[in-house]
Amino acid sequence: MSFSKVFCRTCGPLSVGGALLIAWAMMGPQPAQAREEYQPLVVVLPDVDAVAEYTANALYDVIEGKAKKGEGAVLGLATGGTPVPAYALLRKRLKRAADMNLSKVVTFNLDEYVGLPAGHPESYRSYMAENLFVPGLMQGAERENGFSAENIHIPQGDCAAWDGLRDSVLIAQLQKHVDEYEALLRSLGPVDLQLLGIGENGHVGFAEPGSSFEGRTAVVRLTQSTREANRRFFDGDINKVPRRALSMGIASILSAKNVLLVATGTNKAEAVRRMLEGPVDTGVPASALRMHTRVTVVLDSDAASRLSKQ
Ligand code: F6R
pLDDT in tens, 90-115: 999 998 888 898 999 999 999 999 99
Q: Is 267 in the pocket of ligand 1 (CB under 6 A)?
A: no
Instruction: Give the three-state DSSP class for 280.
Output: coil
Q: pLDDT tens, 241-270?
A: 999 999 999 999 999 999 999 999 999 999
Query: What is the rounded end-to-end Cα distance, in angstroms, of the chain?
Result: 19
Handedness of CA 263, 20, 250, 129 (dihedral sign): positive
145 pLDDT band (50/70/90 cuts)?
low
For the CA of 268, the nearest atom of ligand 1 = 16
Chain CA centroid to CA 38, Å: 20
Asked if the model's pLDDT at residue 135 lies above 80, the reply is no
62 by Cβ neighbours in 10 Å (0-12 / 13-18 / 19+) ranks as buried
Whether 158 lines ligand 1, by a CB cut-off of 6 Å, is no
**How many A from CA of 239 to the centre of ligand 1?**
19
Query: 212: helix, coil or strand?
Result: coil
21: pLDDT strictly greater than 80 = no
Residue nearest to atom 8 of ligand 1 (CA): 205
Residues designated catalytic: 111, 201, 203, 208
Give the mean model confidence (pLDDT) for residues 161-183.
Answer: 85
3-state secondary structure (DSSP) of residue 221: strand
Predicted confidence at residue 16, as pLDDT, reads 43
The residue-averaged pLDDT of 167-187 equals 92
Measuring from atom 1 of ligand 1, which residue has the nearest CA?
A: 79
pLDDT at 143 > cutoff 60 = no
13 contacts 261 by C-beta, under 8 angstroms: no
State the distance from the centre of ligand 1 to the C-alpha of 99, rounded, in angstroms: 32
| Total-model pTM | 0.88
